[in-house]
Structure 1
Amino acid sequence: MTEIGELPERRPSFKFMSGFVIVFVIIAIVVVYFLSGFFFVGPAEVGLVKRFGAHIKTVGPGLHYHLPYPIESVVKVNVSALRKQEIGFRTVSPGRYTSVKNESLMLTGDGNIVSVEAVVQYYVKDPEQFAFNLINDEQVVRFVSEAILREEVAAASIDEVLTFERDVIAAKTAERVQDVLDQLNVGIEVKNVYLQEVSPPEQVVAAFDDVNNAKQDKEKLRNEAERYKNDLIPRAEGEAVQIVREAEAYAEELILKAKGEAERFTKVFGEYKKAPKITRTRLYLEMLNRILKDSEKFVLLSKDGVLKFLDLSKMEEGGSR
């Protein structure tokens, strides 16, 4: 019997409630534990599911489930983002940069020093290799790119690096960096290598400007000389052609004249053979006429001891009248 004033014992009810709460908490923990296996992969990502550390499958964007940790886990890799590494400088904030001298200063093939700032752009082409074969992609890409870029700069002269070989050096660097990364199996695809700024070191900028000015003056004088040559040579060639043609015309004239004289002599010789005495007298008189063309002509005749005087010039005048 229960004594008056004593409360009844409720220990069994309390124990029941405590046990229920513990079971509920355990169930809740188990549920939360299994719910932790749900994961979401973004539109630009892929999910690499691992079971006890070994890769078992790759899933695309969307909601997925894997067994909770530590049985399974997921590594998400962004395969669409364009990643970049800066060589010779660092971006402090948008529009602000700082130089990294130990990276930018490089030796050219002709023994000069040049400051080269480059950007390497790349994508993830193999998520599994990128996630499991690589610890730090930034360091690997920067180290490989800087080493190869130095080799390419060392194979060219400073003029080539600063002018027309810049794009060639960038293209060769990108190709060689890709080859090395493929050999390392890191799952990276190089998109581009840009040489953003290539310039001489600050200590020699003034001297380098003087050299460039001298080269520009040299090029200017060379162009002027080339222009003068291009003007003089055609003119001289034209004059030479004209002289040759005049000489050819003169030679042709002499040849024709000689032919005419030869034909005339042949005709005269034919007449001479017909009447030698008359022809000889006529030729003699014609020659005298040519010789004494500008002189007064007189003929003195002697017959029977009497000299007669004949003025041929007056006869010619009379005849001309």
Structure 2
Amino acid sequence: MSWIGRTTSLNSLKVFEAAARHLSFTAAARELRSTQSAVSQQIRGLEEQLGLVLFDRIYRGVRLTDAGQTLFASVQDGFTTIDRTIDRLRQRDRHPHVNILTDFSFAAFWLMPRLPLFRQRHPDIDVQIVTNQGILDWQTHDVDVAVLFCDEGTLAGDVPLLFREEVLPLCSPGFLQQHGAITDVQSLSQAPLLTLTAEQGQRWLDWPRYFGLLGYTGVPQNAELTFNNYTLLIQAAIAGQGVAIGWRGLVEDMLENGILVGLPELSVQTARGYGLIDARPGMGAAAKRAFMEWMLESV
């Protein structure tokens, strides 16, 4: 905290702001329900504290000096920010809300299609979704709930599991018509593969680890198309450009609708999965509890 911050009272700045806005100590006193002499004394005290002349005293009034104009602009900005913050806090207090942190994939393929059901049940709760594709640390975000892909250690604690990581190859119906059926890991390895990178340290399955879990030691024959966004990868699979790894919990709707075709005989499950994390365990807001209960019901 600066020397000015320790010695300058908020009331002095309030008096200064009113006097600068009106360019009149008398009008400022009237607004503040004070007296002209009290306002003049407050301003003089502020000038002495700052070592600056804020007003030129002229005949029948005052005018701001250059220093006074600079301080006036800053004080007005500060008071405006405070007022907006108070309004926002009051608005949040009047309207229950829940802030959710998750990744792009979960938000796009699971949460957004189902969120209208939560809104129908709780129309008074405002929902804000924060997304990212990297490793997400909910402790560094202003959120109430985090829905994240978790490792075994995290899920072994108090984090409820929404669904475990189960992956299976998937592609469009048109792709199978063009390239023929994929019946085993050998024929899969010869198909064009669509890959989601894990450049930011994500721990989901990629093709090498997937083939390793199936005991396949060969090398895929066709060059892969690589994406750093799962939404784009799925769009490529829908367009018939290759075979993608599909996380069953995320692509179930597209499999049921026939947009994509899965190969369940080649599915693999791990101990990882999506967990439901209470990002603020010490704060038991009703909106947060309602959302977490709805999530657990929905899966």
Same fold (TM over 0.5): no
Greater helix percent: which structure?
1
The bucket for the TM-score relative to the shorter chain is under 0.3
Normalised by the length of structure 1, the TM-score is 0.21
Q: Which of the pair has the greater relative contact order for Cα pairs under 8 Å at 6+ separation?
A: 2
Larger radius of gyration: 1
Normalised by the length of structure 2, the TM-score is 0.22
